[in-house]
Structure 1
Amino acid sequence: MDPLTPMITTNPFDDDKLREECGIFGVSGADTASAIVALGLHALQHRGQEAAGITSWDGHDFHTHRAMGHVAGNFDRDEVIRGLPGGSACGHVRYSTTGETSLRNVQPLYAELNSGGFAVAHNGNISNAMKVRRELIRRGSIFQSTSDTEVIIHLVATSSYRTLLDKFIDALKQVEGAYSLIVMTPEGMIACRDPLGIRPLVMGKLGDTIMFASETVAFDVVGADYIRSIDPGELVIVTNAGEIRSHRPFGDVHPRPCIFEHVYFSRPDSIVDGSSVYSVRKAIGAQLAIENPVEADYVIPVPDSGVPAAIGYAQQSGIPFELGIIRSHYIGRTFIQPGDKVRHLGVKLKHNANRALIQGKKIVLIDDSIVRGTTSLKIVQMMREAGAAEVHMRIASPPTKHSCFYGVDTPERTKLLAHKLDVGGMQDFIHADSLSFISIDGLYKALGEAKRECGRPQYCDACFTGDYPTTLTDQDDVVVTDQLELLAERVA
């Protein structure tokens, strides 16, 4: 993929949220592996709605079905599942953080290598993919997609190591950035996580069947038990005979998992790195109330992501929790507005004020984040039009000032409201009576850490702090190129 590809927005109502990355799910040792994977992908649909795919292995051949759109409608038909036979399967739901939106980029990606078939499902983003891709093309590789994931396949194919496992490890040591991977080969299934553990990956079990997923909620749906998280830098191999082996080729690692999984991305009924997402979000709301109190009649969440934090804020502050905004669940990402006037009014199709409740009241709105600020502006305006006496905004994360290059689709930095304005300027922009964010140390406290240690942060919090845990080779190359082009223009 080209990590600089512009954000693709299929629903302008949702363009003020950080995009979920992708979701992956793998099953090894089941009678109907692809059917289980399809169910698991349903539970992970929130992580990607543009496309979905499943690849299975029947002991002799690999079978793949990929399609644009949701899991439902593409994988709920018997003939599709019958076309994906075998005891092992892996699947992927996609939101394109890089690369174009087209069927050739839909995962799992599959290739025939010298050692046999190789299928891979990837959650994350390779931050040196462009540089590696250019070198591979120079050496004769031919790419079939614009996906950064394909870089891994070519690195495996061209590795000089003897065994497939060593080739795979060799490939991983040449890439930077974030990845959780599920790989299928004729020898078995491999699940791995990058050395920093930026993207999540968990392991589950149903009888003798081993499963891997982006979130534990996928196990709940299929009736499997959650075993543990895959450790940062760990490779777990499940052979066709059911043997499980763990490899740690990266030595000592200092994990920095994505802090935004706890704030927004993961479903509240998931367990992330051993913690209940729902409980953490309530704790974030409580800490937000401690740091940023206000006198009000009601605490109101911006649905749905603001609900747990709003409950925590209400419990800590003693202000009653109420549903002052009602969300319609029938407005999808593909809704198209026919004109600017309808676009402006469109937020009311998804969110509508509970006028009878909030008229004449002082309210505290709780949301998970502010990105561009356009949705917050519309929500505050809606509350005022419904008669709210005062509208105070409280955000369950620090200001989002920096772009993510690890598999989360964020606007370029210049379009982030917190990059352009301080908190006072943001408050004026959204027309709130007050606006406050949880502090970065407060967020860490809610996650069970004393504070953010500047020398070695426990999480990847680069979207808030600009402290990126890896080098950003492709981004640095672009900056240098831009500077050289600017210099050439000045000389001319």
Structure 2
Amino acid sequence: MRDERDGLDFDVVTDDAETIHEECGVFGIWAPGRDVARLTYFGLRALQHRGQDSAGIAVGDGQTVLVRKDLGLCGQIFSDADLAAMPGKVAVGHVRYGTSGARSWEAAQPHLSTIGDVIIALAHNGTLVNSDKLRLELIRLGVPFLSDTDSEVAAKLIGYFTEQTSHIREGIRNAMEMIEGGYAMALVRENALYAFRDPHGIRPLVLGKLDDDSWVVASETCALDIIGAKFQRQVRPGEVIRISDDGVVSEQAVEPRACATCIFEHVYFARPDSVVNGRSVYSMRYEMGRQLAREAPADVDLVIGVPDSGLPPAEGFAHELGLPFGEGLIKNRYVARTFIAPTQEMREMGVRMKLNALPDNVEGKRIVMVDDSIVRGTTSKQIVRMLKEAGAKEVHVRINCPEVKWPCFYGIDTAVQSQLISARKDPEEVCDFIGADSLAFLSLEGLLRSVPTDGYCDACYTGRYPVEIPPAFSAGKFLDGYEPQNLSRASRASRMQIEDVLTSNEEDE
């Protein structure tokens, strides 16, 4: 049933190529009488690990929406004066690592758009696999674009449908029927906050409560903790939540599909102190390490982890086998990203700018080095060499997830299979390439035993894609001999012309 209340009245340079990056982190807050800009800033600082290319905050003050965004880290972008100049009662924030669109101010989020006289700001985590089709259709309908991001496509599609129905929530619902992919989004207008999530629940989004009339949505629970909000529940797959002076209104905008939460959230993306389905990410990674020790034990003197995500599984690995667990790599936590073009010399020293071996602990010892993944192999190779140069007698590498063989199209920057070393080499060949004395990966069965019982997207390991990948979107991104398996077909609405969706919905009613 339509709710009339939401109607409208018309770095220091490093080579990051090896590291898997999630597209971004999202934070939204409805808190009349509070400093929402500053609370959003703190929430984004808690989510900074999810994106370091750009950051932004948009605030609604009851009359309009103001946005401040730029390239860089939160601490580089926002000053105390910036935050003080953005009073309001509702806000949305975003940290971005770009997997769709160039690194530019226009691509930074929240994305600002207009619907008639109303300004909206959209923050998006994920990737839409049919954004090219939708962009071309919107352009045909006379809708202009300022960037090449799928986030702008989502904002403009919501705007188009809102203008047809005069209600933002209707606009969101119709847009969700058409867009395909993995996404979690938060949107603000001058007097309301909206949050919605893809029907498979691929990308995460949680709901928290600050007090009786103040609410928060965020990509992870650690962003709730930093401002003192209490976790309430996950935003359900396919759900739209609207928060305003009228309270919280929830609607199942599209039918949920087979649950396919990104399992890499548990392996790498999420902060260890975040909680998913009642379990901390730390405890899951610790259990991955224990399971890895059962599957691939090693006779060594010391177990170390690659900071930061490799530390909990390394601890679990050591405890399972009764081996010493210690520090062998020191992380420089003050390396910031910049946009200075790197020289080859800088690329070669990139890992050393982030990590350095600790000779006091590793010299003369046989080491197990636990890490979360091997993507292209270049970073692992440099770390193994670093440990051996520091005096390690042997370096045995253990990875607390299966081999990453398939590209991701739902918000991770591994969209070209030829870049993935495990797609081209077997474990023995990868071991030789990185210079390790042995190498083993956690099995998919072992990984699934280490996380809460739920449905997961494991496409990066298996090639089983929960959302159909259009051939135009995946063209040239698979190696010869690899045939992906689409587990579902795109929705009927996503295959229609934009202007036909509303007519179809009216006929269904």
Q: TM-score, normalised by structure 1?
A: 0.90
Q: 1:360 to 1:402 in 2, by over 3 A?
A: same
Residue number in structure 2 paired with 1:104: 106
Work out whether 1:47 is the aligned partner of 2:54.
no
Residue number in structure 2 paired with 1:231: 236
CA contact (8 A) 1:63 1:85 kept: no
CA contact (8 A) 2:72 2:337 kept: no
Q: 1:134 to 1:335 in 2, by over 3 A?
A: closer
Partner SS for 1:384: helix
Partner SS for 1:42: helix
Residue number in structure 1 paired with 2:466: 469
Structure 2: distance between partners of 1:11 and 1:102: 17
Structure 2: distance between partners of 1:294 and 1:477: 40
Residue number in structure 1 paired with 2:160: 158
1:28 to 6, 27, 30: 30
CA contact (8 A) 2:62 2:191 kept: no
- Code of the residue aligned with 2:469 in structure 1: it is L
- Code of the residue aligned with 2:269 in structure 1: it is F
Offset, 1:246: 1.2
1:86 to 88, 98, 101: 88
Residue number in structure 2 paired with 1:63: 66
- Code of the residue aligned with 1:239 in structure 2: it is S
Structure 2: distance between partners of 1:187 and 1:221: 24
Offset, 1:258: 0.5
2:423 to 419, 426, 434: 419
Structure 2: distance between partners of 1:59 and 1:91: 17
- What are the superposed Cα offsets for residues 87-127 of structure 1, whole Å, 9 maximum, x if unpaired? 11111111111101111111111222137222211111111
Partner SS for 1:283: helix
Structure 1: distance between partners of 2:415 and 2:167: 41
Structure 2: distance between partners of 1:66 and 1:301: 35
Q: Which moved more, 1:348-357 or 1:252-261?
A: 348-357
- What are the superposed Cα offsets for residues 12-50 of structure 1, whole Å, 9 maximum, x if unpaired? 443211013201111102321111111111111111111
Residue number in structure 1 paired with 2:436: 432
Structure 1: distance between partners of 2:116 and 2:458: 40
- Code of the residue aligned with 1:87 in structure 2: it is K
- Code of the residue aligned with 2:460 in structure 1: it is C
- Code of the residue aligned with 1:29 in structure 2: it is A
Residue number in structure 1 paired with 2:369: 365
Q: 1:348 to 1:286 in 2, by over 3 A?
A: same
Partner SS for 1:222: coil
Q: 1:324 to 1:252 in 2, by over 3 A?
A: closer
- Code of the residue aligned with 2:466 in structure 1: it is P
Residue number in structure 2 paired with 1:460: 457
Pairwise mapping of residues 2-401 of structure 1 onto structure 2 (< 5 A)? 11-31=13-33, 32-77=35-80, 79-114=81-116, 116-159=118-161, 160-186=164-190, 188-207=192-211, 208-241=213-246, 243-334=247-338, 339-341=343-345, 343-401=347-405
Q: Percent identity?
A: 42
Partner SS for 2:337: coil
Partner SS for 1:251: coil
Partner SS for 1:388: coil
Residue number in structure 2 paired with 1:452: none
Structure 1: distance between partners of 2:253 and 2:290: 40
Structure 1: distance between partners of 2:347 and 2:40: 37
CA contact (8 A) 1:178 1:197 kept: yes
Offset, 1:131: 1.1
- What are the superposed Cα offsets for residues 214-246 of structure 1, whole Å, 9 maximum, x if unpaired? 1111111111111111111111111223x1111
Offset, 1:338: 6.7
Structure 1: distance between partners of 2:155 and 2:329: 47
CA contact (8 A) 1:129 1:474 kept: no
CA contact (8 A) 1:21 1:48 kept: yes
Q: Which moved more, 1:419-428 or 1:329-338?
A: 329-338
Q: 1:143 to 1:339 in 2, by over 3 A?
A: closer
Offset, 1:252: 4.3
Number of matched pairs: 464
Offset, 1:267: 0.5
CA contact (8 A) 2:13 2:350 kept: no
Structure 2: distance between partners of 1:337 and 1:91: 28
CA contact (8 A) 2:186 2:196 kept: yes
Q: 1:111 to 1:335 in 2, by over 3 A?
A: closer
Partner SS for 2:225: helix
Alignment gaps of 5+ in structure 2:
1-10, 481-509
Q: 1:10 to 1:143 in 2, by over 3 A?
A: farther
Offset, 1:186: 4.3
Structure 1: distance between partners of 2:221 and 2:233: 9
- Code of the residue aligned with 2:430 in structure 1: it is M
Structure 2: distance between partners of 1:237 and 1:428: 54
Offset, 1:378: 0.9
Q: 1:321 to 1:464 in 2, by over 3 A?
A: same
- RMSD in angstroms over aligned alpha carbons? 2.1
Alignment gaps of 5+ in structure 1:
1-8, 450-456, 484-492
Q: Which moved more, 1:264-273 or 1:113-122?
A: 113-122
CA contact (8 A) 1:128 1:474 kept: no
Q: 1:476 to 1:81 in 2, by over 3 A?
A: closer
Offset, 1:391: 1.1
- Code of the residue aligned with 1:71 in structure 2: it is C
